[in-house]
Amino acid sequence: MNPSESLAVFSTVAIVIASYAYFFFLQIITSGSATKSDRQLHWLFFIRKMAGFILLGVIPSLILWLLFEKNPFNYGMKLGSTFKLWHWIAGASLFFIMLNVFNSRSPLLQKIYPEMRINTWKLPGIILLSGGWILYLIGYEFVFRGLFLFSCYDAFGLWPAVVINISLYSALHLPKGMKEATAAIPFGALICYFTLESQSIIPAIFIHSLQAISCEILCIYRNPEMKFQFNKSVNHVK
């Protein structure tokens, strides 16, 4: 096995182990969350997103550097040609936001999102929601569209790398249901394209963050049991 293949195998194993460790961790910290206060739910959300950032981003980066003597910045942690694709990135972001406008009407999606089950949403909660997702997705996209995609590309070529990436990406969405696992296929393909075209994970982080944050905010807006309250006199109307 040559060095490129060894790194591709490592990245695959790292994703599987880190993902299952993260899922296991979530099962522990979210048990009994229905009885927790808003402040406790805020802390739980911060802890889960920080844990994802560390397990999926920081730890694989350290192993990559210590065992393989590879610089994490060589695996998409740079701007690359991101600005040359700005119009496509903006168009894709707008498309996913508009898709969320329609999808957020689903009661099934409202049961999953937002992850913090808070009835009255104030500005600090929205800031925490947005920042938490961005932090988590920096680690997530580094290991998935950075280390995993680029190492498989170096080892096996373009199409095998994309197919392997999308397959595992979709499979890891199965715990959230077949609909999300299926939707992950075209989304993953598009993100892989932007990553390889720009040689950067910045577009992936940007698009994925906007998609996740807009989904949560729109699900809050659509949920009849939730509301926004930015001051004492202004609430949104369903």
Beta 227-228 vs 120-121: how paired, if at all?
A: parallel
DSSP string, 16-59: HHHHHHHHHHHHHHTTTGGGS-HHHHHHHHHHHHHHHHIIIIIH
Over residues 84-105, the mean pLDDT reads 95
Helix (H) or strand (E) holding 221: helix 202-222
Residue 98 CA to residue 136 CA, distance in Å, equals 23
| Higher per-residue pLDDT: 127 or 4 | 127
Alpha-carbon distances, residue 98 vs 28, 42, 197 (angstroms): 34, 27, 24
For the record, the structure tokens of 238 come out as 């369903």
pLDDT tens column, 15-55: 989 988 998 888 888 766 667 889 999 999 999 999 999 99
Q: What percent of the chain has pLDDT over 70?
A: 95
Domain ranges of the chain: 3-228
State yes or no: pLDDT of 235 exceeds 70.
no
Residue 72 three-state SS:
helix
Pick the residue with more confidence: 163 or 3? 163
pLDDT digits (tens, 9 = 90+) for 97-150: 999 999 999 998 999 899 999 999 999 999 999 999 999 999 999 999 999 999
Q: Residue 203 pLDDT more than 80? A: yes
CA distance 153 to 165: 10
